[in-house]
């Protein structure tokens, strides 16, 4: 029997009324048989997500700050008890809360603690829909490095075929040590994709609070176009570069099985949303660019040395330095006598940047080495770029006309994207300039 998997994000689980709305969406189509949920998110701007409260709770537990622990536990309990009250039925929430608290206090660990938002709300949704709860630890498996194990998909399929319908908590599974282990933040999207692949769904619906994927951040450009379709590869580029509608790793489980993803809005279920497919056809704007996304908070380390190109093993020596610190880099643009490493600032705090610079000096004796801190990376993405001569000329002309200085340029070999590094202060104007160049009708 055909089926769809519906994954509901945190805002779709934020309170009892929204949960009832989500349940209504599930009931409105018989083939919406498997549901994956995130923990309750923000109800209003300034509100705190349950997962964030749980992270703070665990910090308080570790620091043995009993007063803070109790204060946070009260807040978390209240969120769930309010949900139960709004739904208007006994959903055994107090018992679930008591059990979670007891486990946390007896050392169940951080990942167990922060996954309880999903665990409890999945029980609530299962009771509301009157379908079985299936725990994600039954089939989501991680290896000793915290990476998802391939066997997850077969296990998901075997486990879920026993249930005609099920509700599964997102965001976690079982680690190699037999304990609960979470994905990175926002990982409920990956859980949804695993379930979709496990049951070979005809569609993976990701229900959120926007009506699809916008061509760029609507906080920067007023009412940007909403994309009708984009490819898995475009989605991966855009979400990795900061378009945070969907976790960037969520395409992997579904792409190989050719299961399309639909981004849809719980608050406007009638909207078409965005479809993510193998080869997207519908194009907006002039069809060259699909979308623009970016992130602040990077540093570039530029190394100059004459005849660098002829020195065998030069790049390897530089990479060995960052590898030794356990740091991964985002980009590595290079010229004949120069190369730059672009690294997320997260890795460089507490004197690490200074240590890297001095170790690189020692390793390769550069003529010059300098850093640009506080840069933003902006990716302009679209399959159309490969076929259209002059795309980069248009992009850079738009940037120069807006007076934006480009620190770094990187074009992926797939010609799917052009990434520029600019100073953080120019981030918003850079996105606007590129958007209006390729989507002129929307200015």
Q: Which residues bind ligand ASP (CB under 6 A)?
A: 10, 38-39, 49, 51, 117, 170-171, 185-189
Q: Minimal distance in Å, beta carbon 41 to ligand ASP? A: 7
Q: What is the C-alpha to C-alpha distance for residues 37 and 3, in angstroms, rounded to an integer?
A: 17
Query: Read out DSSP for 375-417?
Result: EEEEEEE-GGGGTSTTHHHHHHHHHHHTTPPEEEEEE-TTSSE
| End-to-end C-alpha distance for the chain, whole angstroms | 46
- DSSP character for 325? T
Closest CB to ligand ASP among 187 and 285? 187
**Length of the chain in residues, anyone?**
443
Q: Minimal distance in Å, beta carbon 150 to ligand ASP? A: 22
Q: Are strands 203-208 and 261-265 parallel, antiparallel or unpaired?
A: parallel
Closest CB to ligand ASP among 51 and 380? 51
Closest CB to ligand ASP among 170 and 212? 170
Dihedral sign from CA coordinates of 176, 109, 136, 230: negative
Q: Minimal distance in Å, beta carbon 7 to ligand ASP? A: 9
Residue 345: phi and psi, rounded to 5, are -55, -25
Closest CB to ligand ASP among 119 and 139? 119
Q: What angle do CA 2, 123, 134 make, to 5 degrees?
A: 50
Q: What is the C-alpha to C-alpha distance for residues 299 and 220, in angstroms, rounded to an integer?
A: 23
Q: Minimal distance in Å, beta carbon 33 to ligand ASP? A: 21
Q: Minimal distance in Å, beta carbon 147 to ligand ASP? A: 18
Closest CB to ligand ASP among 188 and 421? 188
Dihedral sign from CA coordinates of 57, 61, 62, 63: positive
Name the residue whose CB lies closest to ligand ASP. 188
Q: Minimal distance in Å, beta carbon 257 to ligand ASP? A: 21
Q: Are 246 and 189 in contact (CB under 8 A)?
A: yes
Closest CB to ligand ASP among 16 and 117? 117
Closest CB to ligand ASP among 49 and 79? 49
Q: What is the C-alpha to C-alpha distance for residues 136 and 53, in angstroms, rounded to an integer?
A: 21
Q: Minimal distance in Å, beta carbon 53 to ligand ASP? A: 10
Q: What is the C-alpha to C-alpha distance for residues 125 and 19, in angstroms, rounded to an integer?
A: 7
Closest CB to ligand ASP among 190 and 408? 190
Q: Minimal distance in Å, beta carbon 239 to ligand ASP? A: 13
Output the six-digit token pair for 276.
């993510």
Q: What is the C-alpha to C-alpha distance for residues 233 and 239, in angstroms, rounded to an integer?
A: 10
Interacting residues of 161 by C-beta distance below 8 A, sequence separation 6+: 199
Closest CB to ligand ASP among 40 and 260? 40
How many other C-beta atoms lie within 10 A of the C-beta of residue 280? Answer: 22
Q: Minimal distance in Å, beta carbon 231 to ligand ASP? A: 23
């Amino acid at each position: 029997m055909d089926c769809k998997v519906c994954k509901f994000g945190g805002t779709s689980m934020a309170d009892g009324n929204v949960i009832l709305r989500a349940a209504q969406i599930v009931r409105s189509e018989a083939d919406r048989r498997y549901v994956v949920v995130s923990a309750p998110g923000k109800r209003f701007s300034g509100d705190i997500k349950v997962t964030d409260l749980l992270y703070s709770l665990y910090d308080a537990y570790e620091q043995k700050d009993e007063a803070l622990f109790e204060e946070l536990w009260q807040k978390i309990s209240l969120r769930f008890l309010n949900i139960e009250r709004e739904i208007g039925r006994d959903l055994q929430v107090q018992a679930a809360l008591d059990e979670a608290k007891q486990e946390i206090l007896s050392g169940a660990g951080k990942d167990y603690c922060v996954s309880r938002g999903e665990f409890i709300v999945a029980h609530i949704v299962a009771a509301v829909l009157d379908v079985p709860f299936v725990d994600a630890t039954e089939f989501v498996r991680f290896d000793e490095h915290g990476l998802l194990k391939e066997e997850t998909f077969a296990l998901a399929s075997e486990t879920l075929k026993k249930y005609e319908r099920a509700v599964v908590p997102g965001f976690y599974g079982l680690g190699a040590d037999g304990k609960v282990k979470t994905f990175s933040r926002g990982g409920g999207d990956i859980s949804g994709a695993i379930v979709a692949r496990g049951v070979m769904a005809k569609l993976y619906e990701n229900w959120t609070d926007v009506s699809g994927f916008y061509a760029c951040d609507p906080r920067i450009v007023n009412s940007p176009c909403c994309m009708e379709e984009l490819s898995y590869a475009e989605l991966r580029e855009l979400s990795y570069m900061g378009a945070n509608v969907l976790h960037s790793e969520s395409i992997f489980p579904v792409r190989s099985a050719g299961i399309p993803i639909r981004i849809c809005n719980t608050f406007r279920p009638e909207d078409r949303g965005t479809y993510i497919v193998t080869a997207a056809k519908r194009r907006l704007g002039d069809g060259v660019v699909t979308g623009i996304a970016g992130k602040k908070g990077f540093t570039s380390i530029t190394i100059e040395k004459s005849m660098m190109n002829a020195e065998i093993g030069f790049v390897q020596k530089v990479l060995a330095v960052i590898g030794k610190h356990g740091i991964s880099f985002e980009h590595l643009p290079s010229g004949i006598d120069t190369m730059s490493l672009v690294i997320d600032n997260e890795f460089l705090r507490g004197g690490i940047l200074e240590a890297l610079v001095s170790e690189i000096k020692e390793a390769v004796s550069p003529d010059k080495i300098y850093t640009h801190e506080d840069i933003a990376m902006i990716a302009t993405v679209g399959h159309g770029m490969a076929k259209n001569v002059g795309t980069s000329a248009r992009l850079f002309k738009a940037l120069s006309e807006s007076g934006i200085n480009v620190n770094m340029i990187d074009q992926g070999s797939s010609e799917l994207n052009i990434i520029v590094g600019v100073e953080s202060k120019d981030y918003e104007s850079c996105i606007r300039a590129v958007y209006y160049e390729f989507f002129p009708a929307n200015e």
